[in-house]
Amino acid sequence: MRCCFHPDYEIPLPEGHPFPMRKFSALRDILLAEGLLRPTELVEPTEIDWNDLRMVHEEGWLDALRDGTLTRNQERRLGLPWSPALVRRSRLAANGTVIAAWHALDDGVAANLAGGTHHACPDHGEGFCVLNDVGVAIRTLQREEEIRRALIVDLDVHHGNGNALCFADDPTVFTYSIHGARNFPMRKPPSDLDVPLADHVGDLEYLDRLGESLQIAIDRSRPDLVFLLSGVDVVVGDRYGRLALTRDGLRRRERLAQSMLRHAGLPVVLVLSGGYAATPQLTADLHAESHRVAREVFGPSGEGSGCRASADTAEQQA
């Protein structure tokens, strides 16, 4: 499976900052060490063009990012200190999701070892999310007429408010979010399908609710491409999670979601979104579950799924 990664996904943060910046290279190292990822499958993105970001974000937010003129309030809401390196890493990661989306159309599945920054809204950043990478990827592929419709499956424990705002009133993009009802963000603009969960929900209830609701999302959205945001902050003990999935439950969640999407013949882009376990290494190891499952569900390299090829064939037959 081709995976986008850049060493500059990681930037220095102030001592004690809660964002686990080291998880990105740790995940790459785990995937390489376990043979889930071959070095030749690593794809290094460049920084995304500012013009591409304008398809999702408002000029004022992009100007503030480029010029370093965030207000104190904007920076506090973002939760990350502005720096040129932060802007660069955000543009690299956004393009990683765009490139992974192209590869998913060819291979059936591909990944960005970052991204899923679902709290980034058109006019501001929020909750460690600077740019809405999935939004930009969808708009890019729609502009290139590679896809018409997309489905965002957001399994991060926090509601996908940025995605909901980016695609409010857009019938071509279906937003699905299963999340902690009482968790951040406090204001949750409606997704096309929201599945709010009580605090401390465990494996069985979570998997039940996911299975029934995700099928509805697949049936209603009829997408050409799916973005799977496999946030691992649903796991018990997560600093910001408030749910109680076990690691086995996380693995079963990934197997359930990915199998349903694969069964529906849909190409899938895997992105990370959040995770705040005890250490960045543990967070990365939890993110790796999504990749371990993907090799079971989609095969070792994602090759042979041929979603684009089969879609073309289906179109010719139709």
Which one of the spans 69-77, 134-142, 268-276, 310-318 is the region binding Zn ion (CB under 5 A)? Answer: 268-276
Site map (CB under 5 A) of Zn ion, residues 97-136, x = contact: ----------------------------------------
Q: Which residues pair with 173 in a beta bridge?
A: 150
Q: Which of 41, 52, 156, 238 binds Zn ion (CB under 5 A)?
A: 156
Q: Is 274 one of the binding residues for Zn ion (CB under 5 A)?
A: yes
Q: Which is nearer to Zn ion, 141 or 155 (CB)?
A: 155
Tell the smallest beta-carbon distance from residue 77 to Zn ion (Å): 15
Residues 224-253 that bind Zn ion (CB under 5 A): 231, 233
Q: Is 89 one of the binding residues for Zn ion (CB under 5 A)?
A: no
Q: Which of 158, 179, 287, 308 binds Zn ion (CB under 5 A)?
A: 158
| DSSP 8-state symbol, 129 | B
Tell the smallest beta-carbon distance from residue 256 to Zn ion (Å): 19
Q: Which is nearer to Zn ion, 215 or 246 (CB)?
A: 246
Q: Which is nearer to Zn ion, 43 or 277 (CB)?
A: 277
Q: Which is nearer to Zn ion, 158 or 308 (CB)?
A: 158
Where on the chain is the footprint of Zn ion (CB under 5 A)?
Answer: 156, 158, 231, 233, 274
